[in-house]
Structure formats: structure tokens, C-alpha cells
Chains A and B, each alone.
Chain A
Amino acid sequence: MALLEVKDLRVHFETEDGVVQALDGITYSVEAGQVLGIVGESGSGKSVSSLTVMGLTRAKNARISGEVLFDGKDLLKASESDMRALRGDDIAMIFQDPLSSLHPFYRIGDQLVEAVRAHRDMSKAKALDRAVEVLGQVGIPEPRRRVDAYPHEFSGGMRQRVMIAMALINDPKLLIADEPTTALDVTVQAQILELIDRLRQEFDTAIVMITHDLGVVAEVTDDIAVMYAGRIVEYADTESIFAAPEHPYTWGLLKSIPRLDLPRDEPLVPIQGRPPSLILKPPGCSFHPRCPYVRDAHKRIDPKLVGTAEGVNGGRHKVACLLPPQSRRQLWTELVSGATPEDAKQRVVVPEEAVDQEAVDPAAVDQEAAR
């Protein structure tokens, strides 16, 4: 059984402007020692999904449904005090902004000691020893002396390491890292990524890594979930996402970033338009207003996430796209050889009503018929 299993998780927020469908039925699992990357743009729901796992979206206006099984226990049904006991102990989180996540008035050591003593019956001196040990593990030089420092005396990279130390201090089974390196320079980012990789190997920690940076996920993850408008639109092992992506949104992401390893003259192909509003989602496939290969039927039918027949790891690679599988593969082959989406569309003929029946949810069709 996987350590963390998220099943059909939905999180809707009622606001004055309408219901924000932040998460619309996502399912994934992470095992011990595994790193899952969640990739998406702002507003795709990647942060809400992890906050919900931590029980941090329980607001009056939030409607949460589905299951979040951690070690077999449903966290959505857990009491607030149970969640408090779990947070910072078995499940830890690293936030994006290391400056605002540390208390400026307290010494680094005191903050780490508090994190230990909130969960363990341990003397202050012993807890401080533990703090020094963990600070050393995350690469803070002279940890015995630095525990007396205040956060402002540390640089951004060091503060992020303190945050990681705080997350690790109680040996969590699951670590959620929300954009852990976004605020850092590349050189420091490389140090932090190396550290995260070591954790997984030495402590068998399960890690969920949330980021918008495809380079970062390629470095450290085993599996990747690509999110768009509150859904997972593609899920696969990291190799397949980069070698044989199947969703037009993933293609768009891969083609729109400049890369150091490719000849520079390859033009960037931006994804047209912008992410949709989560209050008024487009009907049918949420990506259809921005998809260069959209067919009429895709504007009506909402695709579900289904396993692809072929691919490196048949079945584990899942995609939510209505384009017929062979068209998808032809289109990606064209794009890889340098064709623009326009050219690719010309060369690969996709019939107007072509729909991958696998991806059609019978329930959704019934609903449509009823309307």
C-alpha cells in the first residue's frame, strides 16, 4: 500500500464571485522513498492539493470531498487535534518563501527546539542537540554556533536550509515541498536539490515536490503529474513525460521554455491565451480554448484521465485528452522534429469528430444527453 493515496479529491471554495473549483477530482499516490513532482502554472491547483493533504484548507467556505489516505487513515476525516499531531511530525512541509516562514524574533535554535518539543517529550538540551545535528545534515556550517543566530543573519539559501531542517527534525515519512527552490539562485538551488535527493535515499522519505520548473522536476522526481485548471491532465514516470508526452498542454510547456541543452535558434512556441478562470471553466476539455489541435467535439466532452495503451510503461502513463492516440503520437513526432503547432496540424489530419472513446466518461455523456 502506498504511503499517501489521494483519491478523487475535490476542493471548492465559495466566494462572493462564485464557486472556485480549485481542485476537481485528482487522484495520485506516493510510496516511501519515491519523489512525485506536481507541475502546473499558478491557479492550476497544485498548491491547494498539498495544503489540503496537510489539512490547511479547512475554511468555512471550503467544500472538500474525496479521500486522502495517509498510512491507510483518511486525513479528511481526522480531527483538528489529530492533524496538529501529524503536521510537523509524520508529514512535514517546506514552503516557498523562507523569509516569511521563519519567525524574525526568535533564534533559529529556539524555533527548531519548539518543532521537536511540540511532538516529542524531550528536554530542551536534548532537543537543541537534535537541532544542531539536523542543521549539520542540511549543510549549515558550524551548527553549534549558528543555532543562536536570528533568521535575518542568514542568507536566503541558508534560511531555506533551516526550513528543510525544521521539516526533517522529526523524521517525517512524507515531505511536501511547495516550490522549495523558486526563490533561490541556481547555485543554491543545485545544493538544495542534491540535499532533497539524499533525504530520499538515506531516510526513505516520500516526497511530493510542487514546482513550475520542468528542469527541477527532471532532476529529482520519479513520477510527474501535470496539472491544469484543477485536474491532473497527464501522469507518467519522469522519463515518459519528457520523451513521450501525450497531452498538448505538456507539449506546450516543453516547447515554450528556452533550454541550455538545445541549439539556441530553436524558436520558442508559446501556449496561446492564458489559464482559465476556475469559477467559469470552459465546457468540455478545460484546455480547449488554448489547444491548437482542438476539434468541435472537444468543446463539449470533458475527457477523463485514462491509461495510454502503449508508451514506455503502458498503463502507468495516463492522459486526459480526446485526440485519438495515434494522432497524438504523430503530432508529438512532428513537434519534436521542429514543426510549429500550425505545421503539425497541417501534416497530421485529425477528423473533425475524432474522439478517443477511451477518454470519454460515460456518465458525462449521459449528463450531456439529459441536458
Chain B
Amino acid sequence: MSTNGAKGNHLIEVRDLVKHFPLTKGILFRKQVGAVQAVDGVSFDVVEGETLGLVGESGCGKSTTARLLTRLLEPTSGSINYKGQEIARLSRNDLKPLRRDMQMIFQDPYSSLNPRKTVGSIIGEPFAIHGMKTGEGERRMAVQELMDTVGLNPEHFNRYPHEFSGGQRQRIGVARAIALKPKLIVADEPVSALDVSIQAQVINLLEDLQNELGLTYVTIAHDLSVVRHMSDRVAVMYLGKMVEIADRTPLYERPMHPYTVALMSAVPIPDTSRRTKRDRIRLEGDVPSPINPPSACRFHTRCWKAQEICSTIEPPFAELAPGHRVACHFPENQVDLPVPTVRPLS
């Protein structure tokens, strides 16, 4: 089975994943009046050992997708297959062993660490939950080893989070995430809260750990340059749908979905010699509401290529080039293919 053109073993296969948050009215007799369609039918694979980047504007559903992957949220429908096991419907208890394999790194290193616990007990907590390294000295050793791995001074074992800077706190979060030797780490905006000079330190640390421990990452970031630097493949989301997925280089050099093209052109480039040469595609207005999204192709209200078909027929998420899936009726940068091969997702 090969979908999305992703090569290698699939660690996770996601099919038609949906998450709707109900909107209710009334206090005593709550009735559902609508739903925020945060994620609405998303399918993709995560290949073992790769870094998959998820990008999109705020409210596009990338964080919800990440939380569904790690089953911090209950999907409304759809399937998540982790190494041959269907996990979309597993109960809390059945999930517990899986939690060792999947960890998260959060955006805000200030609110994601308990201020009343020492760094040692924060990093040691995964061991406590899973009943591992129960001996006092044994756990301490393990924690100090982890601190050393992520570039923290192991002697600071007994300090509290407030005694560390933002970058160091993010390292604590990373140490906690790798404590149980997970297979998959989902990092939700891992560097966006850090100062520019510190961001590179954390990005390099995550890359080193991936090489050492053979980790698979799903990274979310709104900064497209950070995503390009970290990812092997990149998926672009818009209003709860995945609009494009491809290897990093084709996606950044020959984006096919008009939304991706617009997103790329909006990134300011720190080089004045390029200032005049670039054609910027300006998207008008804001992202529509996910409560009542536009019909068919959700991007048609802001797309400069939109025609009638775009508001009536939803474009298939088709593989227009090897490994490059796009959901668009009128893609850009088309390679000369005889007929676009539309293969259904298995």
C-alpha cells in the first residue's frame, strides 16, 4: 500500500480524519446548533524516521490534527493507524502503552512546565507514570543523563523552571518528551516562543536527537522558513482540509496549490537585494469561518484562479506528480503529465 507517494515504512496512516467541535445552545437542554469543522477529512501518512511539517494560517486545524494524532483529542470520525493498529477509537486505558511511543513538545515553555516541581521531577514524571526506573538513584541517574543529552547542566536537577531561560525551558520540555524513548514526537510550534538567537539552538538540538535516536517528527510551525529547514515533507492545511503535501524541495520550489503559492510569496525575506524582484500575491480578506466554510474548494473565496467549478465540485486530493498531492482544479507549476493520475487513497 502506497499513498501520498511517501517512501519507506509508514509509522502512521491517517484516513479521512474528522474533528468537529459542537456548538451548543441553551443551558438545561443543550442542543447542538452547529459545529466548528476544525479538521474535515484529512488523509496522510507519516513515514518512519522523517520529519513531516504541517503549515497553515491560524485556525486551519494544524494543532487539532497534531492533538488527534497523539489522541489527546477524540476524533469525530476517520481512522488513525499506528504501526498496523487502529488507534482512533482506543480507550484511555488501551492508549496508555501507546503514550510511551508518542510524545509532544509544546509551544510555550512557560506554561507547559509545572512551576512547583523541580526540573528533576518534571523530567522524571514519565518514568513515574509508567512505573519505570523506580529506584531513587536509578531515576535520578536517568534524568541526569537526559539533561546532559539535551544540553542542560545535570547538576541543576533540583532547580525550578523559573530559574531557567526560555530556551533552557524548551530543552526541559524536550528532555521530558524523549525520556521514554518514543518513536514519534509531535512538536507544536517548538521554537516560536523563543528569541531568534535561541531558536537555532533548539532546532539544531531537535535535529541531533533525531539522528541519534531515530525519531520521527511531526512539526507544526507557522514560520515557513523554519518548517522548510526542519522537514523532509511538508503538508499545507487550509480551513480544516489538507490542500497540498509533497517533499520539501518540490513544495517550496514548485508549489502547485494557489494557496501554497500565496503563502510562500508572503514570507518576508531578510535580504534587501530581493526586495524589488519578488512578485507578491496578496490574498484579500481573512480566512473564512470554520463554522460555515465555503462550499466545495474552501479556498475559492480568496483564490485568484477560482472559476465556477471551484464552488460546486470539491477538487480531489490527487497525486499530480510522484509524491505530490494537491487538491485543486487549476494547479500551478504543472509538470507536463499526459493525464493527471488520480489514484484513490486506499
Contact = CB atoms under 8 A, between A and B. Distances in A.
Interface of A: 41-42, 141, 155-158, 185-191, 193-194, 212-219, 238-239, 242-243, 252-254, 256-261, 264, 267-272, 274-275
Nearest to B268: A215
Interface in B236-270: 248-249, 252, 262-270
Given A41-B196, A274-B165, A274-B198, A261 B271 contact: yes
B268 A189 contact: yes
Contacts of A185: 57-58, 222
Interface string B198-229: 11110110000000000000000010111011
Closest A-B pairs by Cβ, 9 of them: A215-B268, A258-B229, A270-B200, A256-B200, A271-B197, A214-B270, A268-B200, A190-B266, A185-B57
B104 to A, nearest CB: 22
B272 A242 contact: yes
B269 A260 contact: yes
A260 B204 contact: no
Given A212-B195, A258-B225, A268-B204, A156 B263 contact: no
B26 interface: no
Given A190-B280, A256-B196, A271-B197, A238 B272 contact: yes
Contacts of A271: 197-198, 200
Interface stretch (B43-51, B282-290, B306-314, B327-335): B282-290
Interface of B: 57-58, 165, 167-168, 195-201, 203-204, 222, 224-226, 228-229, 248-249, 252, 262-275, 280, 282-283, 285-287
Nearest to A270: B200
Contact of B197 (A155, A215, A253, A261): A253
7 contacts: A219-B268, A219-B269, A253-B197, A256-B199, A258-B226, A260-B252, A269-B200
Most chain A C-beta atoms within 10 Å of own C-beta, residue among B201, B228, B265: B201
A306 to B, nearest CB: 24
B57 A187 contact: yes
A258 B280 CA distance: 20
B272 A243 contact: yes
A239 B272 contact: yes
Contact of B285 (A141, A186, A268): A141
Given A253-B196, A260-B225, A264-B248, A157 B271 contact: no
Most chain B C-beta atoms within 10 Å of own C-beta, residue among A185, A217, A238: A185
Contacts of A186: 57, 222, 224, 263, 266-267
B80 to A, nearest CB: 27
A187 B262 contact: yes
A357 to B, nearest CB: 29
B283 A187 contact: yes
A142 to B, nearest CB: 12
B267 A257 contact: no
A250 to B, nearest CB: 11
Contacts of A141: 285
A194 B266 CA distance: 11
B195 A275 contact: yes
B199 A257 contact: yes
A311 to B, nearest CB: 14
Contacts of B200: 256-257, 268-271
A194 B273 CA distance: 18
A241 to B, nearest CB: 8
A35 to B, nearest CB: 13
Nearest to A155: B286
A157 B286 contact: yes
Most chain B C-beta atoms within 10 Å of own C-beta, residue among A191, A215, A270: A270
Given A186-B222, A242-B270, A257-B196, 14 more contacts: A42-B195, A218-B268, A218-B271, A242-B273, A253-B197, A256-B196, A257-B200, A257-B225, A258-B225, A258-B226, A270-B197, A270-B199, A270-B201, A274-B165
B58 A252 contact: no
A264 B263 CA distance: 18
Nearest to A272: B201
A24 to B, nearest CB: 19
B169 to A, nearest CB: 11
